[in-house]
Amino acid sequence: MKPVIFGLSGPVLSADERAFFAEARPAGYILFKRNVETREQLRVLTDSLRALEGRDDVAILIDQEGGRVARLGPREWPSFPAGPAFDALYERAPMSGIEAARANAHALGLMLAEVGVTVNCLPLLDVARADTTEAIASRAYGREPMRVAAMGRATLEGLRAGGVVGVVKHMPGHGRALADSHHHLPTVTASAEELEDDLAPFRALGGAPMGMTSHIVYNAWDAERPATLSPVVIEQVIRGRIGFDGLLMTDDIDMKALSGTPAEKASGAIAAGCDVVLDCWARMDEMQAIAAALPEIAPRSRERLDAAMTSVDEPAGNFAALIAKRDALLALA
């Protein structure tokens, strides 16, 4: 097994993808809108990935946060709110905000499990600030660390009850970045003492099954390398100060914050201490180069992957009742 999660080019596996994936044996797959048409089509696609791997616990990821980040949507699936909706409710009634976040995530989990998706890249534990880039501010749970942690925990619990693994992101915190790492490499100049606020939600949820790095330079820890490529940030901050021992994946390796070829970036991330690399764009030449450059997945990383995939409950709950509960609570805001 190679320590990489690959994207797919379309709504069905192509013959080339089928042959390549069977040989490379990636650690998982990630889905986007280009892979989605209907419930029936998506279930066939995810079943084909399980058949290819010969096992049921394949990591099949999606970014289904709600709001602007949603791969499944109308008319086939309902819309879901993003983090700020729960932040607004928490401001008025904290326990209601937490319960609404849990019900929302539980419903999300049921919806994803129905079509064979096993991992959702949620919750964001980034602590927003007045000048946080809109790419994060429009998705975050708020500006107070323990509020973010409380709603993040509820989201992880809801996803687990729906049968889906959650991913905490973007470690060790994207809230101070003033640029969007999809397009630029942000640099955070805050002191290590100031960054304690950013670490707090991740530390509170240090037992999460999966986590995702940020492509950000933190001068206080490593002024030369972004977190994804920094053994200092990964080993001393994420594994050490945060205490996270789950499966650590990169954010999309193709984001413009990182420089070099996809294979170079993937190799650098694994060498720095990430367990797996996330490569989203399904470009066959790049996937082949990444697979050729990477070693087999490390035994400890495979243990973390297996532990994460067995950490969820059997999907249970009433989707309509959960949506109704969430909406009733959000109406209080």
- 170 in active site: no
For residue 182 the two structure tokens come to: 């999809």
The secondary structure of residue 241, as a DSSP letter, is I
Q: What angle do CA 271, 213, 60 make, to 5 degrees?
A: 95
Which residues, other chains included, contact 167 with Cβ-Cβ below 8 Å and sequence gap of 6+? Answer: 61, 119, 120, 121, 122, 208, 210, 211, 212, 249
Residue whose tokens read 């394949």: 58
Taking CA atoms, 299 is separated from 129, 192, 248, in Å, by: 39, 32, 14
Q: Which of 63, 182, 245, 254 is flagged as catalytic?
A: 182
For residue 240 the two structure tokens come to: 């050490």
Nearest-angstrom CA–CA distance, 310 and 125 = 23
Instruction: Tally the residues of the chain.
Output: 333
CB atoms closer than 10 angstroms to residue 271: 11
* DSSP of 124-144: B-----TT--HHHHTT---SS
For residue 61 the two structure tokens come to: 């990821």
Q: Which of 251, 252, 275, 279 is flagged as catalytic?
A: 251
Evaluated on CA atoms 101, 33, 201, 248, the torsion sign reads positive
Nearest-angstrom CA–CA distance, 102 and 326 = 8
The secondary structure of residue 79, as a DSSP letter, is -
Radius of gyration of the chain (CA): 19
Q: Which helix (H) or strand (E) holds 92?
A: helix 83-92
Which residues, other chains included, contact 126 with Cβ-Cβ below 8 Å and sequence gap of 6+? Answer: 132, 136, 140, 148, 169, 170, 173, 174, 175, 198
- 182 in active site: yes
- Best CA proximity match to 129, nearest among 140, 143, 141: 143
Catalytic residue ranges: 182, 251
